[in-house]
Structure 1
């Protein structure tokens, strides 16, 4: 059995959890909140050399970084695969995974989450509304428009859920948890896509398990109804 360490509400931790559920792997979850002083376990530096979540243990083997963890699970339990067999689809799945972490998370979800949740509620410092306005006005539209242009069916790539879908949708779960809405008039395909992936069996189980954390933080789950 593998152990996943992190916070279920984390974009990257959820990516690992959904992959484990999709592959029907035996796993358990341990909560680690690095931003809360004194929360990480004593061996956290060895589990996660960067200090970031998620981290994983499989017996005496440890691994950090959501992408590495998901690809490890892909090799450990190949079916169902989260990577397409077609070479072009394979490349596109890896591209969307990279885009999810390097662009959507870094430039949209991370700054919005920190300004909306972390700063006022955990660090107890004022929200910088200028950062929020910059993201919503100047950064986000290009990203959402690009994704809208790439969606042509239930899945981003191929005819089954892949790492691309897991990574992209995980960002928009957090985006909506913290109170931001996707405009169905501007981005109808993206809105439907996120809703459909979130309703899959693997995502549904992960999101159900997150309920206590969502309630505890006072986040908005209404978009899942």
Structure 2
């Protein structure tokens, strides 16, 4: 896709989230629950944030998009996880796999491979390999890195600036970015969704930093900034 077309699609995706209010089901760490919900609602989406109980995962099947945090899934593993991912793929529901370890906890290679086999729309990871498992996004996008994110798909690679350094003081930022990617995936393809989600939060964070005095006020200002950022501004921020 020409860069001009990519920019238009990214801008459209963000505006579609704000106007359509998609329901995003997130399996996220407990410490990240409130921030993930605030970020999604700040962007205009709706949220359900749960653990991995069979009932919670069953509810994910009725969402418009799903984000599964592998660190949480590993620490609270349920036999319903893989069947849920398989049903998401079968139904065409976009879903994001955040394949980032929880602290220093090791990720079991068999579980990583199993979930990657269900072809998530976007795979997030700190690097291209985790516990000797090569991270690949078949038919989707791969978003690598923690602060500055590189998004790769179909031979295209675009870097997203890290935004404000204050983001490091807010728990749950990684999961929140993945959740935004899932929200954007309801309106566009994997590459555009990954770029829109990452850049949306980064740009909002840069603006929020000037209106805050510390982590608490920054968090509030960030949610407000997400509400006001326009789709065309996200595309311009990415310089695509």
TM-score, normalisation: structure 1:
0.28
Larger Rg: 1
TM-score in terms of structure 2 length: 0.27
Higher strand share: 2
Q: Which has the higher helix share?
A: 1
